[in-house]
Amino acid sequence: MYLHDFYSRFTLDESLAEVTGFNPYYLSIESGLEDKLMVNGARLINLASNNYLGLAADDRVKKAAVEAVQKYGASLCGTPIATGYIDLYKRLEGKLSAFVGLEETMILPSCYQANNGLFSAIAGAQDLIIVDRYVHSSLIQGIKAAGCKIRPFLHNNLEHLEGILQRSTGYRQIFVVTESVFSTEGSVAPFQEIVQLCQKYNALPVIDDSHGIGVLGKSGRGILEEKGIEGYQGIYTASLGKAIAASGGMISGKSALIKHLKYYCPHLVYSTALIPAALAGIEAVLDIIDTEFGLLKKRLTSYQQIIYESLLEGGFSVVQAKTPINSIKSGSKENTFIITKKLFEKGILTTPFIEPAVPQGEGRVRLIAGANLSEDTIAEAAAVLKEMGRL
């Protein structure tokens, strides 16, 4: 039969969903990120989105996005190098650069795409990329595409990293790649020390600040502000779909490099530019962060604490959190699904992580309480979590 062999290779193993009676993936969401979320016709407390500052459904952000649609339409139907580069796009590049304190920025349709495209544009066969073993799939895929030597180092382990740097000679350029906040459990990279090691060994640091931008630092400017890193000489990437509450990915750094990438990174050059609604939403979020970060961060931190303590009281094994991410150590993938299912049935939406997103047998259930949730909703979630453990 025509193409039968080809299509028969693609079957989905749904045994885990069958065994646990629950599939947490591709749930149908029927509302925006209001205080509660409509899922499959039920109202749930949303501890699953990366909407840290709670600005995704903020009225001011919605208004900015709507106005941009009215002015520019739904899309410019062009890549940035062609007709997608509206004045708003250019202005936002400048604002994002100023926000993170770097010379220049380019904006791609997503950070997955940014991380995918970056490395093949800057590294090749004569280079070495040293990378934290737990970084995001987008970085791994991007690094593999560069065709250079790859050496993973043990998670956040400076000694292991330095050992590798010491022994690595004869490369044209060495890169050290890591993330600011590791998203499955909220650990933070010792990035100041990593930058120092890079200086010592003439390596170039690359940081993905997707879960740090808008969250870390005293005014929300991310990992560089958090760690007091000035005059950063490396490369910075971040998703604009988490605390920044829109979509898109940024790459920032030295002017000469970004100018080069704007012509030579195919993931930017050949892909339709981010739409006006997203660009305007990001601009509005940056303005809100400028004036309200203190307040939003205080709420975020207090919610995280309440959830953390409730989880402990409920008898869960929880990762000691340093960021707004709370993470239950759920062990096997079956147990990870079962915990997610029980929480779902009690009205709380969370995010399960099983292999390959985490090492085998080290499942995690992640809970993020965004600053948009009301205190009543947090109290309701806390009560459920405390009670859960006793069941």
Ligand X SMILES: Cc1ncc(COP(=O)(O)O)c(C=O)c1O
CB-nearer residue toward ligand X: 111 or 174:
111
Smallest distance from another protein to CB 79, Å: 33
Q: Is 249 in the site for ligand X (CB under 6 A)?
A: yes
User: Which of these segments, 112-120, 179-187, 188-196, 357-365, binds another protein (CB under 8 A)?
Assistant: 357-365
CB-nearer residue toward ligand X: 138 or 350:
138
Q: Is 360 in the site for another protein (CB under 8 A)?
A: yes
CB-nearer residue toward ligand X: 115 or 310:
115
Smallest distance from another protein to CB 361, Å: 7
Binders in 64-103 for ligand X, by CB under 6 A: none
Smallest distance from ligand X to CB 384, Å: 26
CB-nearer residue toward ligand X: 138 or 326:
138
Of 351, 352, 354, 341, whose CA–CA distance to 391 is shortest? 341
CB-nearer residue toward ligand X: 135 or 150:
135
| Euclidean distance between CA atoms 47 and 39, whole angstroms | 13
Of the candidate residues 99, 112, 134, 308, the single one contacting ligand X (CB under 6 A): 112
Q: How many residues bind another protein (CB under 8 A)?
A: 17
Q: Is 185 in the site for ligand X (CB under 6 A)?
A: no
Of the candidate residues 32, 73, 359, 389, the single one contacting another protein (CB under 8 A): 359
Q: Is 241 in the site for ligand X (CB under 6 A)?
A: yes
Of the candidate residues 58, 185, 208, 225, the single one contacting ligand X (CB under 6 A): 208
CB-nearer residue toward another protein: 184 or 271:
184
Residue 58, φ and ψ in degrees, nearest 5: -65, 140
Binders in 131-150 for another protein, by CB under 8 A: 133, 140, 150
Q: Is 155 in the site for another protein (CB under 8 A)?
A: yes
How far does Cα 388 stand from its chain's mean position?
A: 29
Of the candidate residues 38, 67, 152, 262, the single one contacting another protein (CB under 8 A): 152
Residue 346 contact, options ligand X, another protein, none, Cβ 5-8 Å cut-off depending on partner type: none
Summarize as ranges the residues that interact with ligand X (CB under 6 A).
Answer: 110-112, 115, 136, 138, 179, 183, 208, 210-211, 239, 241, 249
